[in-house]
Structure 1
Amino acid sequence: MRVLIVGAFGTVTSAIIRKFGKEGARIYALTGGKNSENRYKKVYEQYDFSYDNNCIKEVFESVNPDVTIFTGAFDSNFEWSSGYSEMVKFGAGLYNCLNAFSFLNHGRFIFLSSNEVNGFDESTYKEILHSQRPLESGAIRTYARVYKASALKNGEDICSNYRKTTGSDVIALRIEELSFETKKPEEAVDTCTRMCSELLRENSITKESEKYSPIYITDVVEALYKLVNKDLLKYGLYRIHSDSSITQNELAELINTSFDTQVSIKENISDISSNDDIHDMSEEIEVKIFKDAKSCAQQIIKNIKNNRSVFASGSTVTEKFSKRIAQYFKGMLVALIPFIENMVIFIPFFMINNRTTGSTYFARLDCYLIYVLIFAMVYGQQQALFSSILAVCGYFFRQMYSRTGFEIMLDYNTYVWIAQLVILGLSVGYLRDQLNSLKADKEDEVGYLDSRLKDIEDINIINAKLKDELETQVINQSDSLGKIFEITSTLDKDEPEEVFFHAAEVVSKLMDCKEVAIYNVSNRNFARLMAFTSHNAKKLGNSIEYTKYTEMYETLKRGDVYINRKLEKDYPLMAAAIMAEESISSIVMLWDISWEQMNLAQSNRLRVVSYMIQNAVLKANRYIEMIENERYVEGTRLLETQAFKKLLDAFTNARKRGLADCSIIKINPGTKDVKEASIDLQKNFRNSDYLGSLDDGYLYVLLANTNNADAGFVTGRIKDAGYSYEMIDGDVDGGAYGD
């Protein structure tokens, strides 16, 4: 399953990625931030484009997701204190993603909303829309909350209408009172966090409703995963909520107790509630809630106490507003610089004009015209007009040295000069502005095309990388079917005596599990250990009554893979059966896989591996049965020499590689021959032990799954029977004699 997560880095997005990644989905992320420095660790590929970018269509075509999750209410890309502009940005991004999704003609689009929608009130929204931006931090938070509620309400309506008009599988999911721990106050949306933050900042607690019914983030992502896998859904708008609740008075008392305060509780209960045609998700999908309201509250309060300074400051919104104010004044200063420069430059031109007036050589030089043309060429019409006004003022001031203002007003040369000055200045300024406008338009067009080309190049690079990775996976990766077949097929080349030991190594390698054990069913209820890759893997013992492990046995009997999700003691974390004629022949047990690996993908992988080693294991079982039935010396439990040599070599090699325990005892038969000694001693050994001869006059005993330290009970019986023995620690011809 290919899942596209649309949302910035945050607690909710990370939780969704962890869940779907654990279930074996291939996850792609659209972060909404250009040139993002953050990278998701468990995401197959990440796209850092804004949601309203034109290349979003190419992103959807490249990913071709089966499921798209737009995190909406929990996306930290949006700064709701910016108000109307951010609401427009949100709607445009959502609509662009929906359009790109619709071109795929398959898949499901899920928009995540929250109970903040209930805070939308049309009259309050209109009042805020037409009011000035507030300056107080508390008013800014209210302002942001109303705009976010309006954006989410519009988002739900967009999804519902899109579902009706296009027939696409678009779902809006409203999550009531989502609860989780975070170190970022702007991420949290639940009532408990709001009350705690209010207590720390303003030393008060406000009750806005009667009940507190949080739903924990792990419960939400589990339900979201079920929603994704549900084939048919009747409606386009659902809500998910918790049935566990406490009163907000109880929550306030819990906060007071935790913070060791006794702050009075104020009431600001709103009658606003959603009248939408919304359906409960639990009507169609089983939703399990594991955390109750009180435990959620306690966990949130503990987190806020550990990060008291962050939540107490409440500086996030205020700092952002302060930055906007600073940027506003900086912009004003930049805009005033040409006017200031104009006035400063006017002074030397005024002084030069005063010196040239009446001069023999420079009387015809118009300094003011030069001054106006300079600013018209540099700054355009606006500064040309402003410099013309300054020049006219300077001209009048100089003329009043020798004439009255009335005489200047009656002189037609004054108006000719002013007209000449203004016309030339504005004409040059107009031409300059037009040339700059054409140049800017060309630069914008080139910049837009460059950005489109760069986005397409980025997507193409990612696609090429994904293609190469997929090719590599098909050819080389250990979890590809080709690689699994290549590894498991080597078992067919092994001698039957070595198959179980090599099979344990194969399973360990393919399942990335260091602790693997293989048990062979010896009779109806018992299985004996055949091979293991670590001492911890054989913790159940050399022989087990596997039918008493009821849950595992019933699962394996059905042909399914057993997963120990409840982490039951003395049960393997995962197990699979190798079947022979609809009955269990062998059991493969895994002991050290991680919690993330206990998912459907790994289960299917173990099933495939078990099937592919099945032939080799069954062939080895048939060989063992043949040894037991046909290759003994008649009337004894003494194996023929060649059969015993093969078993001996297989077990000694496995012991060297740490795949099995075995002890080898060399017995001197004394005056008897080997056959007589074997008949005399065979009652002292288990059915799983092997007796044989190497044609050197000695009787050998191979104790399977027994180390030298545990062989004392056997050697004691041999000594009591009057035979001398030798324990073979390494090669068969070495060792130290016993008494």
Structure 2
Amino acid sequence: MNVLITGGYGFIGSHVADRFHKEGYEVYIIDNLSTGNASRITFKHKGYKLSVQDGKCEEIFRMGKFDVVVHLAAQTSSEVARANPVRDAETNLLGLINMLNLSVKYNVPKFIYASSADVYGEKTNVPIREEETCTPASPYALAKWIGEIYCGKWREMYGLQTIVFRISNAYGPRQSERSGVVSAFLNGALSGKPLHVYGDGSETRDFIYVEDIADAIYRASLSPIAGTYNLSTGMGTSVNELIDAFKELRDMGEVVYNDRRPGDIGQSVLDNASVKRDLDWSPIYGIREGLKRTYEYAVRQQQAETQQAQAAAEVQSAAAPAVRSVFRRLLPYAENLLAFLLTAWLTLGQQYSSYGTIDVKLFYITIMGIMYGNRQSILAVLLSTGLFVYHKTLGGRELVALMYDPDFFFRVAIYLFIGLVVGYTIERKNAQIQQQQQQLQEVEGKYEFLSGIYEEVREVKDELQQRILNMGDSYGKIYSVTKELESLEPEQVFHAAVNVVRSVTQASEVSIYVVNRNRAYLRLVAHAGTNQAVRSLKVEEREDMAMVLQDGKLYVNKQLSPDRPLMCAPLYYRDQIGAVVAIDGLPFDKFSLYHQNLFKITCDLVSSALTKAFAYMEATENQRYVEGTSLLRPEAFREIMRAKKQAMEQYRTPFLLLRGEIPGDLLFETANQIEGMLRETDYTGLDEKQRLLVLLSNTNPEDASRVIERFAERGIILGEVKEAV
């Protein structure tokens, strides 16, 4: 059994992971470690540092085959929610939607969502029942409430079994100091700091111990319940009573009362009668016992002092990278200045005369552009221009006269041109290199992620034999589905077959066509799916069907042509192709050689069932048909009607029933007249009053009118039957 816990390195998530691990589950965890800590989990598990809205999560679902998903990942800070509602929505809403969609796509049986008592808002009537109207008072509570609605809609639209727990104030070991009043008071008591109370202390909360929450979530994973439940103790404890309970454990520091914060609720106690009744669960730990266990855990973690010392050392060591970062930013300017001083010395010094007309400043600008790009090359242009002006004025030129000298502007233009060209070229090259490096890092990150998954798949390779042995329930499911084919009525076999093929292959569209006498047409006899199937196919116009009828083999639409089904397979009767099964809407990961073989084997089972049904029909032909005619006796016709009605109820497959009067002395003449007037999928028979019945498969009233006219031309008057037969 596999369980995925989002936010599994968090306070509640780590306890939930512990519980599932103790029950023998394989635990998978998705956590971005924004507030979680991987050290909270000490047993062997599979953990992924990802955000729940990340697209890479699909790879985990593809590999995991989860039996239950527990969604605990959330942005829980009300302050962050108010300051940055976009970030809050990304985690609490987009992340939830991603998990819901993946759970549906990969057939997860159960989805458990952790909501909050905050969704109720301020209520005066306590304890609060689940039916109470929700009036969220903060962005965090609003996001949780909307998340509940999403869970309900996914249950309605996709059949995903979702359970929502509105959790009251959780407390216990591993809770961070800023995550709850119990944790804040505990840390204040251990450090001797004042306890800050927001309000007058009369505010009540329904404090529930974290292990009770983990127990309820585990029980829910095994239970058939669905819907929304309060998860609480059903008892309120005021903040002042909480302080008194702490004082029984150790001396407390000063208590400081502050104004209540915006969005804080005065009274919050949840009614837990529903979850106690439906889940057969009740909280084990009262507030005092839970506080004692939490306090004892905190005392054992008194190594916090050494951890704080290590943290201080890390803060000091963190200053060194900051200094190096500043140094790296200033280094180009320092090197530019040194290069400029060297250029000025060569330009103004005595050695300059030996260089003839060589302008050293051009080399200086070019080198700065090559080394550092645009910024330093432009700075070099400005410094070189200033040096040029200074050098000219030093030689006796007036500054005003210099402004009218074409040589001056030409020289400055050369400096600027070289600086811009070299700088732009280097900047462009650096940008391309940086882009390539970024792409390389993304590819390496994806490769590392997929490599990790590949290694994990290799780890479970040796367990495949045991997994196969444990797949008895899957084989049992296939067996129970194929039991539907055990009918001796071909019509029932056809309609059962679409259900069998759909269940085994997981295709959304399944159609079965029977072959007419001259193999020129295929008539729809059974269909399951949301799209309307074509009722009649001309073989010469359909290459896929022609190939199946000619070769007698499985056809696979490898080109993924939109006008053809993904797969077609023949159904045999006495070494002849009597029908064709077509499937479409197959999930992409099921479009494999394995599922092709699975489809072929399933069609062989259907062929076997049809062979038995037709053999039975032949053996009991005297009991099925009126002697000397092709008219079904009333009892045989009723069996076919029952199959048609079942297909109508289950798959919305239409049919029409027509009835007409036949004089007894014209029975055989009428039977001979109508033979060959109907399709292979239609039926004719008699009712108990010896009236003619005509059953038209996959037929609408417009088509029926043409049939009625055709019969009228032969002197047989038919009318549509509305009542049941």
CA displacement at 1:246 relative to structure 2: 2.8
CA displacement at 1:382 relative to structure 2: 1.8
- Distance 1:19-1:254 versus aligned 2 partners, 3 A rule: closer
Q: Check whether the contact 2:168–2:270 (CA below 8 A) recurs between aligned residues.
A: no
Is the counterpart of residue 195 in structure 1 residue 185 in structure 2? yes
Q: Secondary structure at the match of 1:410?
A: coil
Q: Which residue is 2:336 aligned to?
A: 342
The separation in 2 between residues aligned to 1:119 and 1:417, in whole angstroms, is 75
Q: Check whether the contact 2:194–2:256 (CA below 8 A) recurs between aligned residues.
A: no
Q: Secondary structure at the match of 1:195?
A: helix
The separation in 1 between residues aligned to 2:231 and 2:211, in whole angstroms, is 13
The separation in 2 between residues aligned to 1:327 and 1:83, in whole angstroms, is 29
Q: Secondary structure at the match of 2:3?
A: strand
Q: Check whether the contact 2:68–2:108 (CA below 8 A) recurs between aligned residues.
A: no
CA displacement at 1:243 relative to structure 2: 2.1
The separation in 1 between residues aligned to 2:188 and 2:33, in whole angstroms, is 31
Instruction: Name the count of aligned residue pairs.
Output: 442
CA offsets, 1:274-294, max 9 Å, x none?
79xx99664253440121122
Q: Kindly report which structure 2 residues correspond to 1:509-528, keeping only aligned pairs within 5 A, or say none.
A: none
The separation in 2 between residues aligned to 1:279 and 1:249, in whole angstroms, is 19
CA displacement at 1:254 relative to structure 2: 3.6
CA displacement at 1:108 relative to structure 2: 2.9
Is the counterpart of residue 454 in structure 1 residue 448 in structure 2? yes
Q: Which residue is 2:153 aligned to?
A: 164
Is the counterpart of residue 173 in structure 1 residue 174 in structure 2? no
The separation in 1 between residues aligned to 2:328 and 2:121, in whole angstroms, is 40
Q: Kindly report which structure 2 residues correspond to 1:561-572, keeping only aligned pairs within 5 A, or say none.
A: none
Q: Match for 2:206 among 206, 210, 213?
A: 213
Q: Match for 2:401 among 386, 394, 407?
A: 407
Q: Check whether the contact 1:207–1:248 (CA below 8 A) recurs between aligned residues.
A: no
Q: Which residue is 2:379 aligned to?
A: 386
Paired amino acid for 1:244: M
- Distance 1:463-1:196 versus aligned 2 partners, 3 A rule: closer
Q: Check whether the contact 1:8–1:75 (CA below 8 A) recurs between aligned residues.
A: no
Q: Check whether the contact 1:356–1:363 (CA below 8 A) recurs between aligned residues.
A: no
Q: Which residue is 2:111 aligned to?
A: 109
The separation in 2 between residues aligned to 1:222 and 1:180, in whole angstroms, is 14
CA displacement at 1:45 relative to structure 2: 4.1
Q: Check whether the contact 2:152–2:227 (CA below 8 A) recurs between aligned residues.
A: no
Q: Check whether the contact 2:168–2:208 (CA below 8 A) recurs between aligned residues.
A: yes
Q: Which residue is 1:66 aligned to?
A: 67
Q: Check whether the contact 1:6–1:32 (CA below 8 A) recurs between aligned residues.
A: no
Q: Which residue is 1:370 aligned to?
A: 363
- Distance 1:232-1:111 versus aligned 2 partners, 3 A rule: closer
The separation in 2 between residues aligned to 1:372 and 1:81, in whole angstroms, is 52
The separation in 1 between residues aligned to 2:241 and 2:209, in whole angstroms, is 19
Q: Check whether the contact 1:113–1:174 (CA below 8 A) recurs between aligned residues.
A: yes
Q: Which residue is 2:679 aligned to?
A: none
The separation in 2 between residues aligned to 1:319 and 1:150, in whole angstroms, is 37
Paired amino acid for 1:288: S
The separation in 1 between residues aligned to 2:43 and 2:231, in whole angstroms, is 27
Q: Check whether the contact 1:173–1:239 (CA below 8 A) recurs between aligned residues.
A: yes
CA offsets, 1:346-392, max 9 Å, x none?
22122122227861x41321222111111211211122112222222
The separation in 1 between residues aligned to 2:38 and 2:293, in whole angstroms, is 31
Q: Which residue is 1:540 aligned to?
A: none
Q: Which residue is 1:272 aligned to?
A: 263
Q: Which residue is 1:226 aligned to?
A: 219
Q: Check whether the contact 1:473–1:480 (CA below 8 A) recurs between aligned residues.
A: no
CA displacement at 1:88 relative to structure 2: 7.5
Q: Check whether the contact 2:167–2:230 (CA below 8 A) recurs between aligned residues.
A: yes
Structure 1 residues without counterparts, runs of 5 or longer: 121-148, 482-739
TM-score, normalised with respect to structure 2:
0.52
Q: Kindly report which structure 2 residues correspond to 1:11-160, keeping only aligned pairs within 5 A, or say none.
A: 12-32=12-32, 42-43=43-44, 45-47=46-48, 49=50, 51=52, 53-73=54-74, 87=88, 90=91, 94-114=96-116, 150=139, 154=143, 157-158=146-147, 160=149
Q: Check whether the contact 2:378–2:419 (CA below 8 A) recurs between aligned residues.
A: yes
Q: Check whether the contact 1:192–1:300 (CA below 8 A) recurs between aligned residues.
A: no
The separation in 2 between residues aligned to 1:103 and 1:75, in whole angstroms, is 28
The separation in 1 between residues aligned to 2:412 and 2:317, in whole angstroms, is 45
The separation in 2 between residues aligned to 1:372 and 1:311, in whole angstroms, is 56
Is the counterpart of residue 250 in structure 1 residue 241 in structure 2? yes
CA displacement at 1:255 relative to structure 2: 3.2
The separation in 1 between residues aligned to 2:225 and 2:119, in whole angstroms, is 26
Q: Secondary structure at the match of 1:68?
A: strand
Paired amino acid for 1:194: A
Paired amino acid for 2:110: R
- Distance 1:322-1:175 versus aligned 2 partners, 3 A rule: farther
The separation in 2 between residues aligned to 1:321 and 1:472, in whole angstroms, is 50
Q: Check whether the contact 2:52–2:96 (CA below 8 A) recurs between aligned residues.
A: yes
- Distance 1:51-1:383 versus aligned 2 partners, 3 A rule: farther
Q: Check whether the contact 2:162–2:226 (CA below 8 A) recurs between aligned residues.
A: no
Q: Secondary structure at the match of 1:112?
A: strand
CA offsets, 1:151-210, max 9 Å, x none?
67536535633653664445553422211123x745x73312212334536434424451
Q: Which residue is 1:427 aligned to?
A: 421
The separation in 2 between residues aligned to 1:223 and 1:343, in whole angstroms, is 70
Q: Match for 1:296 among 290, 299, 309?
A: 290
TM-score, normalised with respect to structure 1:
0.51
Identity of aligned residues (%): 18
Q: Which residue is 1:466 aligned to?
A: 460
CA offsets, 1:88-116, max 9 Å, x none?
77456555444433422443333435568
Q: Check whether the contact 1:117–1:152 (CA below 8 A) recurs between aligned residues.
A: yes
Paired amino acid for 1:160: I
Q: Check whether the contact 2:14–2:40 (CA below 8 A) recurs between aligned residues.
A: no
Q: Check whether the contact 1:159–1:170 (CA below 8 A) recurs between aligned residues.
A: no
Q: Secondary structure at the match of 2:29?
A: strand
Q: Check whether the contact 1:376–1:428 (CA below 8 A) recurs between aligned residues.
A: yes
- Distance 1:163-1:455 versus aligned 2 partners, 3 A rule: farther
CA displacement at 1:242 relative to structure 2: 2.0
Q: Check whether the contact 1:181–1:300 (CA below 8 A) recurs between aligned residues.
A: yes
- Distance 1:394-1:93 versus aligned 2 partners, 3 A rule: farther
**Rg bigger for which structure?**
1
